Amino acid sequence: MPALSRDLPVPLYHQVKTSILREIEAGHWRPEDRLPSEDDLAERFRVSKITVRQAMRDLAERGYIRREQGRGTFVQRPPLIEGPRKLTSFTEEMRKQGALASSEVLEQGMAPASAEVAAMLGIAEHEPVFRLHRLRLADGDPMGVQTTFIPARLVPGIDGLTFSRASLYDVLATHYQLHPTSAHETHFAFAVGSQDAALLRVPAGSPVMGADLVARLADGRPLEYVKSVMRADRYKIVLDLVRQPMGG
C-alpha cells in the first residue's frame, strides 16, 4: 500500500479510504475477501484506529465493503450505477455491466386495477391488468423486487408466458409489437418491510431505494407501471447536472 502524505491538504482518513478502494478496484481484494482488521490497517498506514474506522465507515456507506459482527469486514460486490439513461430493461442494464440477469417469478396473472394503478395507467378502476411480481437477480444475487402492471387489453394471452429468464421488453416487442419510447421515473428512499427484506436478504428496516416508473408508447399511451424496491447497497444514482444561465 502506498504511504500516506501528511503534507497534503487531504484528510488522512480520505487517503486511507482511497488507498483501500484502489486495492479493491485493482482486484488485490476481491468480492467476499476478508479485509485486514482495523488494528492491522492502522499499523500498515501508521494512523490511528479512529482514522481507519472513519475510512471504513465511508466505504461501507458507499457499498464497497460490509461489516459483519464477530466475523470481520468483507469486500462487497461494487454497486451498480444508475443515472440518466436510455429506457432499457433490467436484463439489458445488467448485461451492460457484465452481470447475468435472472428473475424469480413470485406471482403473475390478471387482476383488477386498483385506484393507484388505474390512475398511473390512465384506465378505469377495476379494469383488468396483467400483474407480474418478480425478484430480480444479478449473477444470482438479489437486487430488487419489482411489480409490473400492464393493461390486459394490450397483451392478450401474456399470462401464459414464462418470465424467469425472458426480458419483458423483449416479449412486448416480439409478441405484441409494443415498444415503449419514453418513461417518467420517480426515486425515493425508505425502510424496507419484513417481506421484501427476506427476499432481498437484508435486515428488515434497512434503507432501500424505491422507484415508480410509467413507460409510454410513441403515441403517449401508458404501457406499464412498475413499482421497484432495490437494494441500496448495490445501487447508486448518479446525476450530471447543468446550471442554466440566469436571465437578466
Angstrom distance (rounded) from CA 160 to CA 151: 15
Going by their DSSP bridges, the two strands 235-237 and 80-82 should be labelled as parallel
Residues 126-134 have a mean pLDDT of 95
- In the predicted model, is pLDDT for residue 59 greater than 60? yes
pLDDT greater at residue 40 or residue 248: 40
Angstrom distance (rounded) from CA 87 to CA 185: 10
Angstrom distance (rounded) from CA 76 to CA 94: 17
| Domain end residue (candidates: 59, 75, 91) | 75
Angstrom distance (rounded) from CA 24 to CA 65: 10
CB atoms near residue 53 (< 10 Å): 15
In degrees rounded to 5, what are phi and psi of residue 192?
Answer: -75, 145
pLDDT greater at residue 146 or residue 22: 146
Q: Are residues 92 and 66 in the same domain?
A: no
Within a domain: 126: yes
- Which range is least confidently modeled, 4-13, 83-92, 149-158, 214-223? 83-92
Short-list 175, 161, 229, CA closest to 197: 229
- In the predicted model, is pLDDT for residue 112 greater than 90? yes
Beta bridge partners of 214: 184, 225
Whether residue 110 contacts residue 128, with contact meaning beta carbons closer than 8 Å, is answered with yes
Q: Are residues 199 and 96 in the same domain?
A: yes
> Domain range holding 137?
80-237
Whether residue 147 contacts residue 133, with contact meaning beta carbons closer than 8 Å, is answered with yes
- In the predicted model, is pLDDT for residue 24 greater than 60? yes
Q: Are residues 18 and 48 in the same domain?
A: yes
| Domain end residue (candidates: 36, 59, 75) | 75
pLDDT greater at residue 207 or residue 149: 149
pLDDT at 178: 94
Amino acid at 231: R
- In the predicted model, is pLDDT for residue 224 greater than 90? yes
pLDDT at 248: 46
What is the average pLDDT score of the chain?
84
Angstrom distance (rounded) from CA 109 to CA 159: 5
pLDDT at 245: 62
Residues 2-12 have a mean pLDDT of 66
Q: Are residues 16 and 110 in the same domain?
A: no
Nearest 5°: CA angle at 103, between 184 and 59? 75
What grid cell was written down for 94? 445488467
Going by their DSSP bridges, the two strands 101-112 and 128-138 should be labelled as antiparallel
Residues 231-238 have a mean pLDDT of 75
Structure confidence by residue, pLDDT tens digits, 25-48? 788 898 889 999 999 999 998 899
CATH number assigned to the domain comprising residue 54: 1.10.10.10
Within a domain: 246: no
Model confidence at 236, pLDDT cuts 50, 70, 90, reads: low
The rounded percent of the chain whose pLDDT value lies above 70 is 82
Q: Are residues 162 and 199 in the same domain?
A: yes
What grid cell was written down for 118? 388505474
Identify the DSSP state of 34. Answer: B
Model confidence at 100, pLDDT cuts 50, 70, 90, reads: confident
Helix or strand or coil: residue 142? strand
- In the predicted model, is pLDDT for residue 98 greater than 80? no
pLDDT greater at residue 2 or residue 141: 141
